[in-house]
Structure 1
Amino acid sequence: MNNHSFKIPVIIPITIGIIAISFSSIFVKWSTAPVSVQAMFRLLFTLILMIPFVWKHRNWLKNLTVKTYIMLFLSGILLALHFLFWMGSLKLTTVASSTILLSLQPIFVMIGAYIGFKEKTSKSAMLSMVVAIIGASMIGWGDIGISITNIQGDILSVLGTIVVAIHMLIGQSLLKSIPSTLYSFMVFLVAVMVFALYNMTLDIPMTGYSHADWGIFLLLAIVPTVFGHVLFNWLLKQVTAATISMAILGEPVGASLLAILLLNEPLSLTQFIGGLIVLLGLYFFLQNTRKQHKNNTAKMTSKPRNGDSIIKDERDNFQA
C-alpha cells in the first residue's frame, strides 16, 4: 500500500492490533491441543487466507538474494520459537503472568535496535517506556513465580520475548526492500515447516482433534494473526520496531480483562491500576515518537535537493 493513500491515524490500526492479539492467550487456553499443533495450524490457515493478497508479489521471489532468503528463514525459525515458548507458557502460568513478561519486549528491541541499527530513542520516549513497563509489572505482580510450574511458565515467556524481539528487528530490516505481505507469508511458511518437523520428530499427532479445537485454530489465524501480527508487520514499514513493541504493551491489559470475563482469572486492584499506567505510558510514548518523526521531517525539508522543496518522511502521514 502506498503510504500517501493512507490517511488514518496510526493509533487506529495499532488499537485494532492490540485488541486482536489480546484474544490470542484466551484461544490458547481454550484449546486442548498441544501448543505446537495450535501454532502450526494457526499459521497454516493464515497462509491460506493470505494467498490472494500475496500472489501479486510472486515475481519478487526470483529477485531476492541468497542473504535475504537466509534472513527470511531465520526470522521464520525465531517466530516459531516465539509461539512455542509463549504459547507453552500459557499452559503453565496465568494469562497475566505470561503476557506481562512478554511486554518486556521493548527493552530487548530497544537494545537490539541500538546495537544493530544505531537507532536512538529520545529520553522522553524512554521514560514513557519505563512507565508503561512498571504498569505492566503491576498487572502480573500478584501471581508471577508463585510455584515451580509458574516459574517454568515465566521462563518460557521470557525466552519467547527475546526471540520475538530479534524476529522483529530482522523484519524491520527486510521490510525496507520486501512487500510486507510477502514477508509475512514467507516467514509464516518457514514457521509452519518448523512446527511440522517438530511435531513429526516428537510423534505429536496432527489430526484427530475436536471440532472445537479446529474452530480455535481458525480463530487464532484470523484474529490475533491476521489482525495482529500481519497488521504489525505492515506497520513496521511506517514506524519503528520499538514503537510496535511499545504498542504491544497494551496486550496485558486486554488479555487480563478478557481472562476475567472468559477464564474467571481474577484481577487485583494493583493489576487494574497497572493497566491504566500501561495505557498512559503507551499514549505518551506514541506522542513522543510522533514528535520525533515530525522533527526529523522538518530537518529533511529544510534541505531540498534538485529544486525539490518538499521532501517528506512518509511516516509523517501516520499520526498518533
Structure 2
Amino acid sequence: MFNNRIYPLLIIGLFAISTSPVIAKLLPYVPATVIAFWRMAIASGALWFYTSFFSYSPISPKNSRLVYLAGASLAMHFIFWFGALKLTSIANTTVLGIVAPAFTLLIEKLVYGKEINTLSTISLMIIFIGCIIVQGSDLGNFSGVGLGNIMAIVSAIFLGIVFLIGSRVRQNTGVLPYTKNLFTVSAIVLLFCSLLLDNSIVNYSIENYFWLLMLGLVPTLIGHTIFSYSIKFVSPTIIASIPLGEPIIASILAFILFNERIYSNVVIGGVVIGIGLILLIRNNKN
C-alpha cells in the first residue's frame, strides 16, 4: 500500500532528477559515456565517504549478484539516455524516457509471471500509441532525432530493470549500502565503456567539471538515492512512475535556458503517454 509519509521525499526527488537533462545539455562536447561515468563516480564517491562513518550489515551474496546486474543496467540506461540528449530535444528525451513503468510491468510478467489484467494491457497499448505520436515524422528514421528518440525508449527499458531489481534487494538491504554499491558498479561499467570507445574521462574545462559535479550531486545523489530509499515502501511501478512530472519541469527549463521549441506531436504524445501511465499506476499501486 501507499505510504503517505514518503510523498514529500518523492517530490524532492522529482525536482532533483528534472535538472539532469538541463545540466547534460550544458556539456555538449563531453561524450555520453563520460558524462554518465562522472555522474556515477561522483555520487558513489560521496556515498563511500559518508558511509565510512557508519556500520551496517553487508549485502548478501545473492543480493550482491542482483546489485551487479542493476548497476550494469543503470550504466546502460545512462549511456542511452545521455546519448539521446545529444541527438534529440530535452522534451523528446524526457517524455519517452518516462515509459519505464510499462517495461517494469512487462519484465515482471516475463521474469516473475505477474498477471497483466485487461486494464493494464489497455494502458500499455495507450503508452505505445503515445510513443508513436512523439516519434511523429521520425518514425522509421534511424538517424538524428529519430535515433535519439529510440535511444530514449531503450534507456527506459534499462531503468525499468533497475527499479525491478531494486524492489527485491531493498526488502532486506539498507538504502546506503544498496545505493553505494549500485552507483559503484555502474561507474566501473561506464569507465570500461569509455575506455573501450576511446573516450577520455579527463582534460575537460573547469566549467565542464563544475556541471559534472552538479550532475553527480543533485539528480543522482539526491534524486536517485531518494528513489532507492522509497522503493522499499511502495511498488516499483510507482517509483518508476514518479518521473511523470520530469518532462514538464525539464521542458520549461529547456525553453527558458535554451529556447528549445516543444512541438505539438510531443505535447499530444506526452499527454497520451501520461494517460496510459496514470491508468497503469492506478491499476498497479499495491
- Normalised to the residue count of structure 1, the TM-score between the two structures is 0.76
Letter in 1 for 2:188: M
Matched, 1:17 2:13: yes
Map residues 156-235 of structure 1 onto 2, 5 A cutoff: 156-235=151-230
Give the counterpart letter for 1:201 in structure 2: L
Return the alpha-carbon distance in structure 2 between the equivalents of residues 14 and 144 of structure 1. 34
Contact 2:101 2:277 in 1 (8 A): no
5+ long unaligned stretches in structure 2? none
* Equivalent residues of 1:104, 1:161 under 8 A apart: yes
Q: 2:253 aligns with which of 242, 258, 262?
A: 258
- Kept in 2, the 8 Å contact 1:97–1:143? The answer is no
> What is the Cα deviation at residue 59 of structure 1?
4.3
Q: 1:46: how far off?
A: 1.0
Match of 1:68, SS state, is helix
Residues 1:91 and 2:86 are matched in the alignment = yes
Q: Which residue of 2 aligns with 1:51?
A: 48
Indicate whether 1:248 and 2:243 are aligned: yes
Determine the structure 1 residue equivalent to 2:24: 28
Aligned equivalents of 2:258 and 2:137: distance in 1?
Answer: 17
Relative to structure 1, is the Cα distance of residues 201 and 130 closer, same or farther in structure 2, using a 3 angstrom cutoff? closer
Give the counterpart of 1:65 among 51, 60, 68.
60
Change (3 A) 1:46 1:231: same
8 Å CA contact 1:184, 1:230 repeated in 2: yes
1:42 and 2:42 aligned: no
Q: Following TM superposition, by how much is the alpha carbon of 1:35 offset from its aligned partner in structure 2, in angstroms?
A: 1.5
Secondary structure in structure 2 of the residue aligned to 1:91: helix
1:268 and 2:263 correspond: yes
**Do the aligned partners of residues 13 and 122 (structure 1) sit closer, same or farther apart at CA in structure 2, a change above 3 Å counting?**
farther
* Greater Cα radius of gyration, structure 1 or 2: 1
Relative distance call for 1:7 and 1:82 in structure 2 (3 A) is closer
Q: Secondary structure at the match of 2:87?
A: coil
Note the C-alpha offset of 1:41: 1.3
Q: Please say if residues 171 and 233 of structure 1, whose CA atoms lie closer than 8 Å, have aligned partners that are also in contact.
A: yes
Name the SS of the counterpart of 2:57 in structure 1.
helix
Task: Work out the CA distance in 1 between the residues paired with 2:208 and 2:216.
Answer: 13
Q: Equivalents in 1 of 2:196, 2:145: separation in Å?
A: 27
SS in 2 for 1:260: helix
TM-score by length of 2: 0.84
Deviations 1:201-238 (A, max 9, x none): 33322211111111111111122112321111111101
Q: Which amino acid aligns with 1:74?
A: L
Q: 1:128–1:55: structure 2 CA closer, same or farther, 3 Å change rule?
A: farther
Query: 1: CA distance between counterparts of 2:11 and 2:129?
Result: 21
**In 1, Cα distance between equivalents of 2:153 and 2:181:** 25
| Aligned-partner Cα distance in 2 for 1:256–1:280 | 18
Match of 1:150 in 2: 145
User: Is the contact made by 2:16 and 2:223 (CA closer than 8 Å) also made in structure 1?
Assistant: yes
Match of 2:108 in 1: 113
Does structure 2 retain, via aligned residues, the 8 Å contact 1:78–1:164? yes
The residue type equivalent to 2:229 in the other structure is: W
Contact 2:6 2:230 in 1 (8 A): no
Say which structure, 1 or 2, has more relative contact order (CA 8 Å, 6+ apart).
Answer: 2
Shifted more, 223-232 versus 186-195: the winner is 223-232
Q: Structure 1 residues 181, 243: closer, same or farther in 2, change over 3 A? A: same
Deviation of 1:287 (Å)? 5.7
Amino acid at match of 1:39: A
- Cα distance between partner residues in 2 of 1:158 and 1:239: 24
Gapped runs of 5+ residues in structure 1?
A: 1-5, 294-320
Question: Residues 10-34 of structure 1, C-alpha deviation per residue, up to 9 Å, x if partnerless?
Answer: 2x32222222222211111110211
Instruction: Please tell me the residue identity of whatever aligns with 1:167.
Output: V
Q: Which moved more, 1:26-35 or 1:201-210?
A: 201-210
Distance 1:197 1:273, change over 3 A: closer
Q: CA deviation at 1:169?
A: 1.2
Percent identity of paired positions between Structure 1 and Structure 2 = 28
